[in-house]
C-alpha cells in the first residue's frame, strides 16, 4: 500500500472537490479544490449540517442503501456534470464512509 502522504498528494491533486465523510457523517478530509468550493475549516464537522433538509434525507437514504451494499448513486446532474455519492469500503467490504464523485456530461 502507498504511504499516506502519497495518497493525500494524489487526492490533493484532483481538480474536482473531494470531501470524505466517515460513517458518523463527520468530515475527515477535504482536498484543496473542496476547500476552495466549500470553504476552510470543514474537517471535524458534520457533513449533514452543510446541507438542507431535503439533501439530508437523500443522503441518509443513500447511506442506508450503501449499508446494504450499494456502491454509488447519482445525486445530481446538469449540462456540465453529474455528481455521485460513492461508498468507501475497506478490503473486507465494510463501509467506512463516502464522498461525492464528479464526471463530465459524456462520462
Per residue in 21-66, pLDDT (tens digit) is 999 999 999 999 999 999 999 999 999 998 999 999 999 999 999 9
Long-range CB contact pairs, 23-27, < 8 A, 24+: 23/95, 23/96, 23/97, 25/59, 25/63
Domains and CATH numbers, the chain: 4-103 (3.30.450.20)
Per residue in 1-32, pLDDT (tens digit) is 789 999 999 999 999 899 999 999 999 999 99
Per residue in 57-98, pLDDT (tens digit) is 999 999 999 999 999 999 989 888 888 999 999 999 999 999
Which stretches of 1-107 are assigned E, i.e. beta strand?
19-22, 27-30, 72-77, 82-89, 95-103
Amino acid at each position: 500500500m502507498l504511504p499516506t502522504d502519497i495518497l493525500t498528494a494524489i487526492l490533493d491533486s484532483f481538480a474536482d472537490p473531494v470531501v470524505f465523510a466517515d460513517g458518523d457523517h463527520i468530515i475527515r478530509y477535504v482536498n484543496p479544490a473542496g476547500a476552495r468550493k466549500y470553504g476552510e475549516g470543514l474537517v471535524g464537522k458534520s457533513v449533514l449540517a452543510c446541507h438542507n433538509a431535503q439533501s439530508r434525507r437523500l443522503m441518509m437514504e443513500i447511506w442506508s442503501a450503501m449499508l446494504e451494499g450499494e456502491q454509488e448513486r447519482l445525486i445530481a446532474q446538469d449540462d456540465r456534470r453529474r455528481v455521485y455519492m460513492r461508498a468507501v469500503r475497506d478490503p473486507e467490504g465494510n463501509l467506512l464512509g463516502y464522498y461525492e464523485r464528479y464526471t463530465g456530461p459524456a462520462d
